Structure 1
């Protein structure tokens, strides 16, 4: 019984003490609903998710595949984070009309700006299809055979499950392949930019304050969904009309207090809560430090140019923010895992897991799990590290190499499918690269290349580095590449790609920049990827067995939630402060006073618009202030991750009280290990959003189309 109690404690403490967990909304009835009620929720599980009636889920679409958003009016007005809409705000910006610096506000629907390729996806219903997906799998021998059968079954379910013509079926795996769920979705592709504050509000604090509390960022932007005359999804057309939602969120002016119930709905991207200790140790000691060093080098170069040149600042704003986001996250994650002794905690759990397996007569099934984990993680380390170096240097942070990779794909298409396929891909590539080069500066990229290619060549496992990059003068190599390669300009690439396929391939292979990415790519394909995939398959099988054991051996009270996988989830908690270190306590709410305290005139990160200063000095907060102060942000115990950006923060009655946009730095390790003492999510107070729209931007028409409610406290 002692061991059983310990397992309950280890598994359930993070879940019950601070409501950690990312729950499938269709499965909330029962214990989840009971706990939410005990925390103060006034709704039912059916109010949150219902197939036959409108519910909260119908107001929470996946935003452009990477963020979350919420519908806040009967005319399809959509709220999400400023950083989620940043790319679109940037794409509409020019030096003369700099919406990043000045903000953008459509004063009429006719002024709302279309965004090609942007889309939002709603969940229609969720069904458990585990039995159908796993049918005939258990009798198969090898892991490869099992995966092929599962993929075939998924394809069949996706094809045959009931749906409307405009809808899609998507099957996703949960609990490491122990459960499968079908999501029926509908995607709207006409989404227009409605409003965005200047970056001095929407990105206030920028990279210095990213992942940090106290926070004072008005991280929001507004879009609108348009549909055809039948309210169905349609490509952009002037004839489209504002979408009429099944549900939209009433917006609360009631405010928040410490201890209030909070519900966050969204599409969290990826967590790894059930990794074995050896995997976490590898992340902390080997993988994260390498990725941090690469991005640190890239950021220092870009930052130096952005501070000196306004055009470069506009070109690189979105890219810089994207690179910096996970760079800082990995730093906090590593520190948090060390501070909370996550590796030691997981080793203790594994020890007791084995004792419980023995007690349950499951030693044959689970007894060698951790020895096998140790073996395979030791084998995969050089391949994983080499893969990370390749991805970070070639595919994410050096644009010449990233563009070169796309050209390499052209060569592969020609080899595999011939001239016609090559021509089709070539035309698409030339067209799409025009947008890439719009935000490209070869001088900036050259300095980044010089830093990163040296890291790749000297610190990546040497057996996987192409000979042409070993023992070089990397400054001289960089100069040669950027003075000779045609990939450094759009005109040069178009010239490279002119002519018949064989001529183009010959020309590409004589290009200095292309030669480097091709050598890197082929080394990766031949020496790294096959072995990496082979070992990963074995680790995945072990992880599936481990997850099965956790589910099987844990008592019901443990309530094991599935890892995030970009599917719709609910996480509930409370508004609550925390103690990041000895003798320091962070309150859960920040105010506009803090913005003014941080104000540095003309600073890249901490400048403040004069109009906002004037409103502050006059205390002109309208109906949105509280006791003479303007609330800006608050924190809660909701378990969130990347993908929850833009998620609605909802009160006990289903009203919108805030907008999720970040986590505190001390708790970023919650993707791997949720610790209730320091894990907090950060939200913009919805009253600050309304204040900026109304008092700062003067866009009363948007306020008028929302349903404002003033929740009275007991």
Structure 2
């Protein structure tokens, strides 16, 4: 039951109303809150940011490889994004003998830039609101007919639009289905690695400093977009040429001051700012703690091996970072939701809405009941999905299960088979069956101990003892074709996938007897029977009511300017350069410097080692034009921009639209901003452009890249 601490909530609610940006904001660039942006200090106009009639800043901002953001910083298609966004590509070019992760990489000319098959960047050419077209004829419909009609209307709309072969139309729901927007996208497919600092710079502080301020990480990497000779998208070819952009960002090396205006332009992934109080409470007390518990076990097991074996460290580097990222984020999110009194704040806001519109009370009562009814199924869903996501052996079993069911249903055509083989080849490349047997064993033990009996397979108690489980799963792994440790059709799946899949009937018969496959199927069938239908059914009802609740909020609260939750579409968020005071007697400055890198330096440490050349540059104070008024090189800074995952690599721009930083993280005390933005604690973290250019110029001796850019002094 929600604790209705009205005194605390009332005090906070009154306090927050007096602060600009009390709700944050991730604005569709065609619907910017331009007045507040100018009030906060912006010098350019909304048309300078997004314009389909002439070049604008949006022409320099791309979605990088479907997940992060990147920006063009030269007239030759030079692309800047985070080191952690390019990590997979840097890793793919690395070997034990030529470890680009550890040593860094800097092309000395365009001829030395490295291709990355499959990597893409997407430009947003246009954005149009199409709510009327997409909701046409839906007034009297209910589910499932409503979804079918909307899907049909989307296809009709997309087919009515004229596009080039390299363009596509994506229609996105906003405000929980109350509005729809169409995005015209251009995709470039020849993206080459230009430069990356060693991870002792690009990942400095690693897991210890992740989501933490003060931060001293040079989290950047550089790529280049290549195009056909007509400057249009083309598949990789040696004959392609650097892309000539419509706009590129000037790079500023001016000093930053507290309260300077900034805005961040990128592709934030997912937020849920408009949930009812009951939903926030469930996340804070049940769902996030379950996710954290699973990843805690997986990370500790991987870390033990990675610290002692370089081959494993390289193989699992990107995956470990990915798992650790949200593990730590959820920990901060829970603490932040508590500290900001998020539930009580929501309760107060809901009370103010009900006072204006009594119909909202009925909606909230229904939502409260649905969330409470769903709670046991939602908790099981959290444990089940996280176990499958983090036990790679079970994830592999899931791939094979889908293959078997597709074959038996007659859906495994030539194209699907090729995709399955490619997926397996990619998976086995960075998979250790021996290591993951331990991870899987420990996660199955956790699942057996944390899950109530009604959601467990019969006899699953035998997996409760972790030590015994490790022996059991290791034995199963040794005798499994899924792990690639035994052969089928005369070959190991991990070494010769073509031969292993050559006799389909034999493969399927062998799979069904496979010990790992049987464990997975038992787990899956029990979950699908006891939890998934109930969870999904209740979620459908919640989603339907959330749409109503969202519409009611927008209709009732006339004093609030609403923005849609993030959904990986192009957004603008803005704020001011600012430090913070997240805890009693703790105050953070907005800027860190190279001196802080040296203070954290631990020789030989995998998180806090520092390259000798960087130490020498610091000792000699060889900072060039990249020092600030303190005489040191600024490394990172914080501001009040409302960001989330997907904003990694986003440009941070000043009041004139010049690049001043590269967004890469959030302050741990404010990671709850995906659910509850709090202007007291919510800070995004950016690499200072001075540090980026200092590393490129002084550390990497790659001034040829600096010469491409327009530097604002």
TM-score range, shorter chain: over 0.9
Tell me the secondary structure at the aligned position of residue 582 of structure 2: strand
- Cα deviations across residues 330-364 of structure 1 (Å, max 9, x unaligned)? 00000010111111111111122111103xxxx2x
The 5 Å alignment of 1:309-708 reads: 309-358=309-358, 363=359, 366-394=360-388, 396-417=389-410, 421=412, 424-467=415-458, 469-472=460-463, 473-489=468-484, 492-493=492-493, 494=496, 497-555=500-558, 557-627=559-629, 628-708=631-711
Q: Which residue of 2 aligns with 1:189?
A: 189
Structure 1's unaligned 5+ residue stretches are 1-5
Aligned length: 691
- Cα deviations across residues 48-80 of structure 1 (Å, max 9, x unaligned)? 010101101110000111100000000100000
- Cα deviations across residues 566-588 of structure 1 (Å, max 9, x unaligned)? 00000010000110111111000
Aligned partners of 2:444, 2:704: CA distance in 1, in Å?
52
Q: Is the Cα–Cα contact under 8 Å of residues 170 and 184 in structure 1 kept in the other structure?
A: yes
Q: Which residue of 2 aligns with 1:3?
A: none
Deviation at 1:597, TM superposition (A): 0.1
Q: Structure 1 463/543 Cα, relative in aligned 2: closer, same or farther at 3 Å?
A: same
Deviation at 1:468, TM superposition (A): 5.2
- Cα deviations across residues 367-413 of structure 1 (Å, max 9, x unaligned)? 3111111111122222222222222111x211111111111111111
Deviation at 1:520, TM superposition (A): 2.1
Aligned partners of 1:99, 1:687: CA distance in 2, in Å?
23
Q: Structure 1 9/153 Cα, relative in aligned 2: closer, same or farther at 3 Å?
A: farther
Q: Which residue of 2 aligns with 1:24?
A: 28
Aligned partners of 1:325, 1:580: CA distance in 2, in Å?
21
- Cα deviations across residues 117-141 of structure 1 (Å, max 9, x unaligned)? 100000000000000111111112x
The 5 Å alignment of 1:203-242 reads: 203-242=203-242
Deviation at 1:437, TM superposition (A): 1.8
Q: Is the Cα–Cα contact under 8 Å of residues 481 and 511 in structure 2 kept in the other structure?
A: no
Q: Is the Cα–Cα contact under 8 Å of residues 434 and 474 in structure 2 kept in the other structure?
A: no
Q: Which residue of 2 aligns with 1:115?
A: 116
Alpha-carbon RMSD: 1.9
Q: Is the Cα–Cα contact under 8 Å of residues 268 and 568 in structure 2 kept in the other structure?
A: yes
Aligned partners of 2:12, 2:473: CA distance in 1, in Å?
57
Deviation at 1:15, TM superposition (A): 7.9
Tell me the secondary structure at the aligned position of residue 69 of structure 1: strand
TM-score after normalising by structure 1: 0.94
Aligned partners of 1:169, 1:426: CA distance in 2, in Å?
28
Aligned partners of 1:574, 1:100: CA distance in 2, in Å?
34
Q: Is the Cα–Cα contact under 8 Å of residues 661 and 683 in structure 1 kept in the other structure?
A: yes
Deviation at 1:500, TM superposition (A): 3.5
Aligned partners of 1:183, 1:15: CA distance in 2, in Å?
33
Aligned partners of 1:221, 1:615: CA distance in 2, in Å?
20
Q: Is the Cα–Cα contact under 8 Å of residues 22 and 677 in structure 2 kept in the other structure?
A: no
TM-score after normalising by structure 2: 0.94
Deviation at 1:19, TM superposition (A): 7.5
Tell me the secondary structure at the aligned position of residue 488 of structure 1: coil
Aligned partners of 1:91, 1:53: CA distance in 2, in Å?
38
Aligned partners of 2:226, 2:375: CA distance in 1, in Å?
48
Q: Is the Cα–Cα contact under 8 Å of residues 12 and 558 in structure 1 kept in the other structure?
A: no
Aligned partners of 1:13, 1:57: CA distance in 2, in Å?
32
- Cα deviations across residues 590-649 of structure 1 (Å, max 9, x unaligned)? 000000000000001000000000000011011111232010000000000000000000
Q: Structure 1 10/138 Cα, relative in aligned 2: closer, same or farther at 3 Å?
A: farther
Q: Which residue of 1 aligns with 2:297?
A: 297
Tell me the secondary structure at the aligned position of residue 118 of structure 2: coil
Aligned partners of 1:15, 1:463: CA distance in 2, in Å?
48
